[in-house]
Chain A
Amino acid sequence: MARKKKEANLDLAPSKKEKMGPGQIVVLICLAIFTVFCFAPVVLVFVSAFTDEMYIVQHGFSFFPQKWSMAGMNAVLKYGKQLFTSYAVTIFVTVTGTLLGLLIMSMYAYAMSRKDFRLSKFLAIFLLIPMLFNGGQLSGYIIFTSVYHLKDNLLLLILPLCVTTMNVIILRTYIVNSIPGELMEAAKIDGAGEYRTFFQITLPLLKPSLAAVGFMMATAYWNDWQNAMLYIDTNSKKPLQLLLINIQKSIQFLLNNTNVPASARAAMGGTIPQNSATMATVIVVIGPIMIAYPFFQKYFIKGLTVGSVKG
């Protein structure tokens, strides 16, 4: 008995020492059901993208179609230039926005965390007010388009998501709690200027927190359909999400587009596998995040935890 207890103490999770019992089985089954509920729709997207279009029309969407086909995927790949343009726009906006946001937010967070800096109180309040009060969608739309004249400008996809109060708070909390102040003092004594201290000492140490915030930002940029829908008109600036929203129009447009080789159009025989092509486009749009997510999972879970505890 005594030995058993000692072993139990080594375990972090209190429940680990519990024995297998009917209770455990029930919990596991419930969790499994919920996992299926969450993940099955994602599977359905993948299955439908490779289902024969006629099969979907006749029998509906199914997890176990009798007839498979590559037609949907082919149609998407034959979008040709527009798909690549949209990919390029989305990647450009995501990368630029995330890097820019991380840089300027950590700079702000660092300045805010300096103790004897009198303005830091003001910076904190300035950061907090937008969380309490904002102009709303309509004012934003009118100011951005008729005062800044930025309609159809990629800046409107980048800047609105660039600095968010919550992210700055997460970064600041991390600087205050996890980076020893002595380190920065030491750097200063060794003759490093303020900028050098920040870029060479603080920023590298901030990495775990940057990874967490960065991943959350990147998904926000990648998934942003609203700003694109409001502000972007030109085809050459359309991000993936907008392509997806206008998919019915898009498929028609893309296939009638001169960018699509005539041979490809002929190969499709004039019919568009609407349902499976739509699902194939969904895969193309959500794919990169699905692939990146497992690598960042531990960071963003940590980031979420840190953010919830205001330091």
Chain B
Amino acid sequence: MKDFLRNTWKHRAHVVLALPAFLVLFFIMYVPMTGLILAFKRFDSRLGIYGSPFCGLDNFKFLIASKAQFINFTSNTILYYVIFTVIGTFLNVALAIAIDQCIFKKTTKVMQTLMIIPVFISYAAVQFIVYAFISKDTGMINNLLGTNTSFYMNASYWTVILTITKIWKDTGYGSVLYMSVLAGIDTELYEAAEIDGANRWKKIWHITLPSLIPMITVMLLLSVGSIMKSDTGLFYQVTRDTGVLYDTTQVIDSFVLHSILKNSNFGFTAATSFFQSVVGLLLMLGANALVKKIEPENALF
């Protein structure tokens, strides 16, 4: 203990350096964790978060009472996680390999720059781009097909619309990570394979893909930890928070944002939030444990 104090005193400059970021983390990330007790309280804005009376598990009874809605947005959250992860990973890897294999390096460089641009457009702006394509009267898709579909009134189209939007926004950027792995593959491996008579497909299958597997595994496992979190902008902005579409578009995060902005149903929302945080923690711990087993270097802790 004395040693520890002496060490800390010796490094007091480092303590000072770490302090500002420490305080920001403390007040922005740590203090709000205490807000989760709201799940067990009846919130009264006059009494404040800590003064509001406890109400046991009443809020969770709400959750069970409106379980149709709860099940809907929870299953949507998980469903979109699966769709985005499967399609996203496939496209990221495919794009990285295609760019890596293409011999027109200058052209691909320009293409890559253009492909990455969508990731920098906020969802507040993306919603207008999507609108230009799917609006009922002025939308491009209706015009090209000569149809008159009201996409904003019909929930069944939105799984596809959101998936395409997500692919459009994130694929170019997502492939960069895999490209960096490909750049690190030893050229001699390819040469040796060529001498052994391997053609292009064989080289991709036996060298390129296997060398990407560790990175794919790690990214997949780590993403498991954030199943409960979604890209709020995609589900809130792009859908314009339209009630008719909730069946296929509402996820936990967009539901919570909606309730905060509409100031409604705090008990239910608090219980949902609590559920989200706790399940998120468990998934994260599980994912990390798995990564640690398979690829110890890439574990978070």
Binding site for B on A (CB under 8 A): 5, 8-9, 11-16, 18, 20, 23-24, 27-28, 30-32, 34-35, 37-39, 41-42, 44-45, 48, 56-57, 59-62, 103-105, 107-108, 110-112, 114, 116-120, 123, 125-144, 146-148, 159-160, 162-163, 168, 193-195, 198, 219, 222-226, 229-230, 241, 244-245, 247, 275, 278-279, 282, 285-286, 289-290, 293-294, 297, 301, 304-305, 308, 310
Q: Given A105-B21, A111-B17, A297-B116, do A16 and B103 touch, yes or no (CB 8 Å)? A: yes
Q: Which residue of A lies closest to B186 (CB)?
A: A14
A104 to B25, CA, bound (A): 11
What is the distance, in angstroms, from B169's C-beta to the closest C-beta of chain A? 9
A93 to B31, CA, bound (A): 23
By a CB distance below 8 angstroms, the chain A residues around B38 are 138-139, 142
By a CB distance below 8 angstroms, the chain A residues around B45 are 146
Instruction: Tell me whether A42 and B118 are in contact (CB under 8 A).
Output: yes
Taking a contact as CB atoms closer than 8 A, the residue among A132, A286, A289, A294 that contacts B284 in the complex is A132
3 shortest interchain CB distances as A-B pairs? A139-B35, A194-B13, A223-B122
By a CB distance below 8 angstroms, the chain B residues around A308 are 177, 180, 215
Q: Which chain B residues (177-235) contact chain A, with CB distance < 8 Å?
A: 177, 180, 183, 185, 187, 190-191, 200, 215, 225, 232-233
A267 to B185, CA, bound (A): 63
By a CB distance below 8 angstroms, the chain A residues around B138 are 56-57, 60-61, 275
What is the distance, in angstroms, from A131's C-beta to the closest C-beta of chain B? 7
Q: Which chain B residues (112-140) contact chain A, with CB distance < 8 Å?
A: 113-118, 120-125, 128-129, 132-133, 135, 137-140
A132 to B283, CA, bound (A): 9
By a CB distance below 8 angstroms, the chain B residues around A9 are 187, 191
22 contacts between A and B (CB under 8 A): A8-B191, A15-B100, A18-B101, A24-B103, A28-B104, A30-B98, A38-B114, A38-B115, A38-B171, A39-B115, A41-B129, A111-B17, A119-B14, A119-B15, A143-B32, A147-B49, A194-B13, A241-B125, A244-B125, A275-B138, A289-B121, A308-B215
A119 to B3, CA, bound (A): 12
Binding site for A on B (CB under 8 A): 4, 7-8, 11, 13-15, 17-18, 20-22, 24-25, 27-36, 38, 43, 45, 48-49, 95, 98-105, 107-108, 111, 113-118, 120-125, 128-129, 132-133, 135, 137-140, 142-143, 168, 171-172, 176-177, 180, 183, 185, 187, 190-191, 200, 215, 225, 232-233, 237, 253, 256-257, 259-261, 266, 269-270, 273-274, 276-277, 280-281, 284-285, 297-298, 300-301
A230 to B261, CA, bound (A): 7
A42 to B273, CA, bound (A): 36
Instruction: Tell me whether A13 and B35 are in contact (CB under 8 A).
Output: no
By a CB distance below 8 angstroms, the chain A residues around B253 are 137
Instruction: Tell me whether B187 and A114 are in contact (CB under 8 A).
Output: no
A201 to B225, CA, bound (A): 38
A198 to B15, CA, bound (A): 13
Instruction: Tell me whether B7 and A142 are in contact (CB under 8 A).
Output: no
Q: Which residue of A lies closest to B12 (CB)?
A: A194
Taking a contact as CB atoms closer than 8 A, the residue among B15, B24, B111, B117 that contacts A162 in the complex is B24
